[in-house]
Amino acid sequence: MSEISTKPPSGMRDFLAADVMRRRHVLAVVQRVYESFGFVPLETPTIENLSTLLGKYGPEGDQLLYRILHRRERLQRALASGSPSELELSDEGLRYDLTVPLARVVANYRTLPAYYKRYAIQPVWRADRPAKGRFREFYQCDVDITGTTSLLADAEVAGAVAKVLLELGFTDFKIHVNHRELLRAFVTAAGLAAEQEAPALIALDKLDKVGRDGVLQELVQKGFAAEVGPRLLDALERARQPGALAAMAAEAGPFQVAAQALQTLFTAAADGPAGPRLVFDPTLARGLSYYTGPIFEISCEGLSGSMGGGGRYDNLIGMFQKQPIPAVGFSLGLERVLLVMEERGMFPPLGIGPQVLLCRMADVPAAAAIKVATQLRAQGLRVELFADDKAMGKQLGYADTIGAPFAAILGTSELAAGTVALKELKAGTQVAVPVTDVGVFVMKRS
C-alpha cells in the first residue's frame, strides 16, 4: 500500500490557530463595515444547478467549474463494473462566485426589497491549476445592490470596499475604474467584429499579469490579425493621458455616453471613502462576460494581481426571469488581503491561545481544579486546564510550549486559602493571588 499523504490537495489549505484568528479579525471588520452601509447578509448553497452556472462566466469560466458526479446508484455501479462510462456527471456544480447565486436568489424570491442591498462572505471554487499565492478554494466578501441603474449604487459598493481596506490599515491602494461600453467602443474602433469582443477582452484582462507582449501573443494565437492588437493597446494607452476621459465625454461619438457615466460616478464618489482612490484605467477589462457598465479592480503597491474587483451587471438577473433587474457589485478577495497584511505586519495582537494555564498538584481533586478554571473564565480569561497527572516541571514546560504568559498553580494550601500561585513565565516571578483577583492581575500585565 502506498503511503498516505498528510498534505491537503493542491490549491487547498489547513488553517491553524494563528491563521484562523487573522481571518476572523479581517472578516469581523468586513462584516461590521458592510452592515454600516446598510447591506444585509445572504448565504447560498455550496452546490448550484449547472443551468444556473453555465454561460455566465464566458468560455474560460465555464471550463473552471467543478462539476459533481452522480450520486449513489450510478456511482456504485461504476465502482462495481470498473466502467468509467458509468461515471456520468450530474447537473450540479460547486459555486464559482457569489454573484450568479445572488442573481438566482433575486429572481426566485419576489418578496425581496425593490432595492436589495446584500453582502455575502463565503467560499467559492475554481477547477484550476493554481499558481503560487492562488487557490482552488477561497473566500469572497461581496457587496451588491440590485434594482437601480443609478451610479450612486456603484459609488456605494466601491465606498464599502474602500472603507474596509482603510479600517484594516491600507493606505496605498487604488480602485481602477473603466466602463464595459467604453471598452466595446475601443474594440470596435480597432476593427474587431462583435463576435471577437469576448476573446479580445479575455486576453486584455491578463495585461497586468503577462504584459503587453503576452496579450499581443495571445491575440495572435486566437486568430486576430497581427495589426489588431497593437492598434487596440495603443488606443487604450492614449486614453490614459490626463484629460482624455473629459475629452471623450465632451465629444459626440461612440465613447461619449460611457465616458460621461464614469464622470458621474467619480463625482458621486468624490466625498466618500472611495473617492480619493478611484483612478480611470482604460485598459481594465475584467474577464467575466456578464459585466455591462462600470467595472472595478483594486491594486495595492507591491502586489501582483488584484485584491478584488467587480462592476455593473444589468442583464444577469434577467437571464433567470423575463423582467430585467439592474445590479452592481464589488468583491473583496479575503486571501489576497490576508497575504498583504501578513507580509506587512499589519495585524494587531489577536489573543491566540490561553492566557493562563491552570496547573494542579497531584493531591488536588480534578473537580476542584475545574471549579477554579470556571471561576477564572468567568473573569474573561482564556484558561486551559492541564489534564494529565504530571510533574509540575512538565506542566510549566507545556505552558512555555503553548505560549501562555501565566501559569496558575493550584495546590491543597492554595485551594484552602482561595488563591493560586500565579507565575509570570517570562519574568520568572511568582505571587499568591486570590482566585477572584486573577483576571484583574493578568489584564494589568498583558
Structure-derived torsion over alpha carbons of residues 385, 386, 388, 391, reported in degrees to the nearest 10: -140
HSE, side-chain direction, 13 A CA sphere, residue 254: 11
Q: How confident is the model at residue 261 (pLDDT cuts 50, 70, 90)?
A: very high
In 162-293, DSSP assigns E strands to 173-179, 278-280
Residue 142's pLDDT is: 98
- Percent of the chain scored above 90 by pLDDT? 70
Q: What is the reported pLDDT for 195?
A: 78
Query: Residue 406: its pLDDT value, please?
Result: 97
Please list, in sequence order, all residues whose beta carbon lies within 8 angstroms of the beta carbon of residue 157, skipping any fewer than 6 positions away: 143, 144, 145, 310, 328, 329, 330
Average pLDDT (340-364) is 94
pLDDT at 290: 86
Element (H, E) at 424: strand 419-424
Mean pLDDT estimate for the chain: 91
pLDDT digits (tens, 9 = 90+) for 209-250: 888 889 889 888 888 888 888 888 999 999 999 999 999 999
- pLDDT score recorded for residue 106: 95
> What are the chain's domains?
17-46+95-344 (3.30.930.10), 356-444 (3.40.50.800)
Q: Which three cell numbers stand for residue 126?
A: 475554481
Strand ranges, E, within 62-159? 67-69, 89-94, 116-125, 137-146
- State how beta strands 308-312 and 47-49 pair: unpaired
What stretches of 1-137 show up as alpha helix (H) in DSSP? 17-36, 50-53, 58-63, 73-81, 99-108
Q: How confident is the model at residue 201 (pLDDT cuts 50, 70, 90)?
A: confident
SS3 429: strand
Map 313-335 to HEC letters.
CCCCHHHCCCCCCCEEEEEEEHH
Q: CA angle, corner 111, sides to 120 and 53, nearest 5?
A: 50
CA distance 235 to 249: 16
**CA dist., res. 256 & res. 243, Å (int):** 14
Average pLDDT score over residue span 160-185: 96
Q: Check pLDDT > 70 for residue 82.
A: no
Local confidence band at 260 (pLDDT 50, 70, 90 cut-offs): very high
Q: State the pLDDT at residue 206.
A: 84
pLDDT, mean of residues 363-388:
96
Among the ranges given (185-194, 246-255, 277-286), the one the predictor scored with the smallest mean pLDDT: 185-194
Quickly tell me which residue has 486566437 as its cell: 222
Relative to beta strand 356-360, strand 383-385 is parallel
CB 425 within 8 A of CB 396: yes
- The grid coordinates of residue 344 equal 506587512
Residue in the block written with cell 501565566: 406
Rounded CA-CA distance 384/225 in Å is 69
- Is it the case that residue 304 has pLDDT exceeding 80? no
Average pLDDT over residues 348-370: 94
**CB 202, CB 307: distance < 8 Å:** no
User: Which of 152, 157, 177 is CA-nearest to residue 99?
Assistant: 157
DSSP element (H, E) containing 311:
strand 308-312
Given a contact cutoff of 8 angstroms between Cβ atoms, the answer to whether 93 and 66 are in contact is yes
Largest CA distance in the chain: 90
Between CA 431 and CA 440, with CA 437 as vertex, the angle to 5 degrees is: 95
How far is residue 333 from each of residues 23, 68, 87, 341, 343, measured CA to CA in Å? 12, 25, 34, 13, 16
pLDDT number for residue 88: 61
Give the pLDDT of residue 405: 96
Task: Starting at the earlier edge strand, list the strands of the sheet with 383-385.
Answer: 383-385, 356-360, 406-410, 419-424, 429-434
Model pLDDT for residues 38-73, shown as the tens digit of each residue: 999 999 999 999 999 998 887 778 889 999 876 666
Span 5-35, pLDDT tens digits = 999 988 899 999 999 999 999 999 999 999 9
Residue 432 pLDDT > 90: yes
Q: Is the pLDDT of residue 85 over 60?
A: no
The predicted structure's pLDDT at residue 84: 56
Mean pLDDT, to the nearest integer, of 309-333?
A: 93
Percent of the chain with pLDDT over 70: 94
Enter the C-alpha cell of residue 74: 450510478
Q: Does the pLDDT at position 112 exceed 60? A: yes
Going by the DSSP 8-state scheme, the letter that residue 154 receives in this structure is H
Would you place residue 79 in the very low, low, confident or very high pLDDT band (cuts 50, 70, 90)? Answer: low
pLDDT at 210: 84
Torsion angle of C-alpha atoms 354, 358, 362, 366, degrees rounded to 10:
-90
Q: How far apart are CA 144 and CA 157, in angstroms?
A: 7
> What angle do the packed helices 207-221 and 197-204 form, to 10 degrees?
140
